[in-house]
């Protein structure tokens, strides 16, 4: 998959990582970039073609797919964090996380899979998280939704292989965006994360681990849960 000359569509392109994706795609020679958002008036990327797209609304998704029949590269970036726990958190907000990260991403993939097939296969990049592999007290709804999106990514990779579509999962820890503004933790530069993701797409990688946090957590999956959750052992 070559970025130069591609026709890309980015969800959630009005800010944060999505804005970086759209800008870097243009900088790398993409022939066209559809910069989409639920509120398209907030997209301000010179050279991008702006589309309205609410990934949680199937009607909106279908309309975007009809308007962008030339797409060869799909970037599923749109996301949300409501900072909810699962047992005592607001159930509507928990559902919103799953509706966005899992069902929303699935809505977009289902709508654009035939488009990609018709244009030779192309590629899909899903923005995932190190929290796909780690539950975090205070944001367990996000972890659960990202874990579901990771499984979705593996599933669609199998299902779309026959049409020549390569599916890449991009995992990263904390990133310096609006979503993480209230967290006093070390954060990755979003431009560097996006660069790593797009490099991975061009290299045909199935998975990109963009930082030490995602690399270490992926490696720890085979360990006993007590390794990742020592506080549970201490409380027992």
pTM: 0.93
Retrieve residue 157's tokens: 């990779």
Pairing state between β 166-171 and 207-209: parallel
Residue 178: its pLDDT value, please? 57
| Domains of the chain, each with CATH number or no CATH | 7-235 (3.40.50.720)
Instruction: Please write down the long-range contacts of 209-213, taking CB distance under 8 Å and 24 or more positions apart.
Output: 209/171, 210/170, 210/171, 210/172, 211/130, 211/172, 211/173, 212/173, 213/130, 213/172, 213/173, 213/174
Residue 72 · residue 119 · CB < 8 Å = yes
Beta bridge partners of 71: none
pLDDT digits (tens, 9 = 90+) for 117-137: 999 999 999 999 999 999 999
pLDDT in tens, 194-230: 999 999 999 999 999 999 889 999 999 999 999 999 8
Tens of pLDDT, residues 166-203 = 999 999 987 555 565 455 557 678 899 999 999 999 99
């Amino acid at each position: 998959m070559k970025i130069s000359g591609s026709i890309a569509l980015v969800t959630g392109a009005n800010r944060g990582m999505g804005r970086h994706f759209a800008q870097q795609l243009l900088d790398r020679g993409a022939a066209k970039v559809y910069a989409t958002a639920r509120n398209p008036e907030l997209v301000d990327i010179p050279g991008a073609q702006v589309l309205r797209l609410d990934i949680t609304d199937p009607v909106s998704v279908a309309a975007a797919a009809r308007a962008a029949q030339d797409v060869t590269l799909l970037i599923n970036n749109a996301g949300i964090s409501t900072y909810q726990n699962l047992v005592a958190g607001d159930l509507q907000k928990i559902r919103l996380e799953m509706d966005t990260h899992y069902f929303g991403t699935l809505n977009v993939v289902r709508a654009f899979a035939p488009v990609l097939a018709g244009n030779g296969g192309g590629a899909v990049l899903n923005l995932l998280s190190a929290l796909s592999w780690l539950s975090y007290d205070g944001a367990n709804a996000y972890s659960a939704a990202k874990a579901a999106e990771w499984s979705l990514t593996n599933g669609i990779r199998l299902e779309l292989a026959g049409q020549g579509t390569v599916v890449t999962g991009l995992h990263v820890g904390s990133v310096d965006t609006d979503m993480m503004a209230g967290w006093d933790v070390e954060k990755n530069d979003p431009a560097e994360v996006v660069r790593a993701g797009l490099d991975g797409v061009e290299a045909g990688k199935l998975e990109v681990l963009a930082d030490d946090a995602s690399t270490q957590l992926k490696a720890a999956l085979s360990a006993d849960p007590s390794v990742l959750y020592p506080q549970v052992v201490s409380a027992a």
